[in-house]
Amino acid sequence: MKQRLAIWLLRLVGWRPVGTRPEGDQFVLIAAPHTSNWDLPLMLAFGWAFELDVRWLGKKSLFDGPAGWFYRWTGGLPVDRSHSTNLVDQAAAMFREHDKLTLVVAPEGTRRRAEHWKSGFYWIARKASVPVLPSYLDYATRTSGFGPLVVPSNSVRADMDALRAVYRDKKARHPDKFGPVQLADEDADD
């Protein structure tokens, strides 16, 4: 049902998916660029169109109140960011508990310009031994698709170079808010 609804809604608003569903059943999916409130609903719709079991992490306050059921229905998982917890370990454990899981992470961590991506997506994928699936929303062409899977290696910089290649020509809804595709700890190779 979600797939048909997603395809219909995407056509209605003038967007189209590009490419095919990636091979595999477990991914840490990067949702970028993330500069608008429209990015999450569009990315969820594209995930459903490709029949991915899409789950996303959101601040706990989003799930309080009358809209909480809807966020859970769309795959939302509440995260309490007021306490220091090991989110990487918790997210990696989800992959052990589910045979099919696409965990969506917006590595920019904000809709404002960020000079570095947050590295949690990378360490979750590495700890869970699952690939990173770069996905994109290109507002210039009104298309969404996937880049090649990136299996985390022992070179953070090389892995990030592969991700930079995917996003090099993608246009955000607000281009001035899409910062560089880089991690602060790219030189932390093991």
Helix axes 39-49, 2-12, angle to 10 degrees: 130
Contact assessment for residue 60 and residue 79, using Cβ atoms and an 8 Å cutoff: yes
156-178 pLDDT, tens digit per residue, is: 889 989 998 998 998 878 878 77
1-51 pLDDT, tens digit per residue, is: 788 888 899 999 999 888 888 999 999 999 887 768 888 888 888 888 998
Q: What is the value of pTM for the model shown?
A: 0.84
Q: CA-CA distance, 115 to 117, in Å (whole number)?
A: 7
* Cis upstream peptide for 78 (omega within 30°): no
Residue matched to tokens 């960011």: 81
Q: Which two tokens stand for residue 30?
A: 């990067």
Q: CA-CA distance, 63 to 188, in Å (whole number)?
A: 35
